[in-house]
Structure 1
């Protein structure tokens, strides 16, 4: 939340230069406050598990957040009861005339599938385009980040032969960026993906900023200059057991997966995971909600303007 101090207090200028949001008395006395509307497009197979992970992150704020759940289509789910989907999820047709303060699009286990072979690819592109017109700030996670970078900016992912699986150290590249507020210079993030994004291509083709990256897994956190698009290649929302469950599942299927890196204590799968990403995951979601949703969204969502894509001028 912003700090409310006198406009002319010397601390106001100092904190502003550090990208700490300072609200003057005049604005504080006149601002309108209402609940934030956030739309969650859940593409993961185990939707209830993912719902809990995301809701936990969104709840770590004093702001009131009203969440709508969205399904990509009406195909039956193998891992989520149909009665749950019918009771709690909305179709795109039910929300497409609405505006939202924020939107989160989750990852999906489609890292090795060609874009045009994804069953809901056309609908996915439609929703990405819709979000630019109807959402103040959209957070794309893992597969969704790759899909959005490709759809919006023509930046295609590179498919690796070996999967990134584990918890990896990342470096903050823009210390004073609002999304990095409170981050340590090095922080840990879970990854579970085959694809990666070329940093040079992002810098050459767009005005997007790479805010954090890993020496091992590459580009992690990318944002548009206005904060209306946030691309995250990892899974800061993961629970302690998520990577373990994936490892057990793939082992049982005879896929002979590598042991997730930097995950189990002493790298021993018989021991408990060492959780060292939870605090930064919560901080990232809190910063996003505060700086790029709450602080920037119009009080009247009908006044929302479309995103201006951050492509480089030729």
Structure 2
């Protein structure tokens, strides 16, 4: 089944070219089915690229999904046309009264700022608290995952001296959890971040379970026992060339970046890339939609119960 997006969203042409089934709103309106309502709070500078990455992962499900793209403020992002934002994005205030089956909050390039120094931190905390009341299950990615863990549980990240960047091996910690269904015991996932939270920080938080971790990256996938919150500290949504683009961008900016580990063959940027994470990235989003969202959400979203951490 398709995801439902605005007819003129640029992602539609890209996804159609990949034989991914997307449906415009006019066609979807004639289907007698209650679709899932999923919001995407996109904090990344290149909105269009991130839209395509996440929509691709959401599309591999038999469920029909209505997508709302949400912006956190009215500032024009550097790498996305204003016309695109005006045409396809909702201001948070315009959807604040709505309830969602699922919400995805992307990462953001805010590695070296204290959370309280982020210009939209107050709005971010408002949205996170709102999601606990208005959303069945919320998935936080990379920076947003650490920010949400800090907000809800008071666990602060520490900053590495060097950037953790590359494709790393992870191990499933609880293969009985529905989010891990179908996962191999060991799987790969990309990371690109400075922040980290050690596994020991979660030991005393009874509401959370670490579902997958790595000796190199620390906890990768953490979820609340009520399935309302999911924290992913990496980037399962990344395209095959995203880390490559980030690397050469930083080279051209004179930042002398580290070569992403285990990404280029023999860690040589002139070689081909090892793309080993996409199947598990798709499976993660599919499991989340099925077991954490669809299987638990009420048919009438107005009856969605509040939850407190």
The TM-score with structure 2 as length reference comes to 0.89
For 2:162 and 2:171, locate their aligned partners in 1 and report how far apart those are by CA, in whole Å: 23
Contact 1:134-1:306 at 8 Å conserved across structures:
yes
Superposed CA RMSD: 1.2
Aligned pairs (5 A) from 1:255-270: 255-270=255-270
What residue number does 1:57 align with? 57
Q: In the TM superposition, what are the counterparts of 1:132-151 in structure 2 within 5 Å? A: 132-151=132-151
1:125 and 1:193 map into 2 onto residues whose CA distance is 21
Distance in 1, matches of 2:272 and 2:86, equals 36
SS of equivalent residue, structure 1 residue 204: coil
Give, in angstroms, the shift of residue 198 of structure 1. 2.2
Shift of 1:33: 5.5
CA distance in 1, matches of 2:272, 2:190: 15
Deviations 1:249-289 (A, max 9, x none): 11111111111000012221012211100000000000000
Which residue of structure 1 lines up, in the alignment, with residue 185 of structure 2?
185
Q: In the alignment, is residue 87 of structure 1 matched against residue 87 of structure 2?
A: yes
Where does residue 289 of structure 1 map in the other structure? Answer: 289
Range with bigger deviation, 33-42 or 198-207: 198-207
In 1, the alpha carbon distance for the partners of 2:164 and 2:198 equals 15
What is the match of residue 273 of structure 2? Answer: 273
1:207 Cα offset (Å): 2.2
2 CA distance for matches of 1:195 and 1:56?
27
CA–CA separation in structure 1 for the residues paired with 2:103 and 2:95: 12
Structure 1 residue runs of 5 or longer lacking an equivalent are 2-31, 310-314
Residues 250, 257 of structure 1: 8 Å contact kept: yes
Q: TM-score, normalised by structure 1?
A: 0.87
* Structure 1 residue 224 corresponds to structure 2 residue 224: yes
Q: Deviations over 1:182-225 (max 9, x none)?
A: 00010000000000112212121342000000010101100000
| Residue 122 (structure 2) aligns with | 122
Question: Which segment is superposed worse, 205-214 or 54-63?
Answer: 205-214
1:15-42 Cα deviation digits (max 9, x unpaired): xxxxxxxxxxxxxxxxx95100000000
Q: Distance in 1 between matches of 2:273 and 2:109?
A: 22
Distance 1:278 1:307 in 2: 32
For 1:159-178, what aligned pairs fall within 5 Å after superposition? 159-178=159-178
SS at 1:270 equivalent: coil
SS of alignment partner, residue 113 of structure 1: coil
For residues 77 and 212 of structure 1, what CA distance do their matches in structure 2 show? 33
Q: What's the secondary structure of 1:205's corresponding residue?
A: coil
CA distance in 2, matches of 1:272, 1:94: 45
Cα distance in structure 1, aligned partners of 2:166 and 2:103: 26
Write the distance in 1 (CA, Å) between the matches of 2:100 and 2:111: 28
Contact 1:153 1:206 in 2 (8 A): no
> Is 1:195 aligned to residue 195 of structure 2?
yes
Could you tell me which runs of 5 or more consecutive residues in structure 2 were left unpaired when the two chains were aligned.
2-31
Q: Is the 8 A contact 1:141 1:231 kept in 2?
A: yes
CA distance in structure 2 between the partners assigned to 1:307 and 1:139 by the alignment = 15
| Matched residues, number | 279
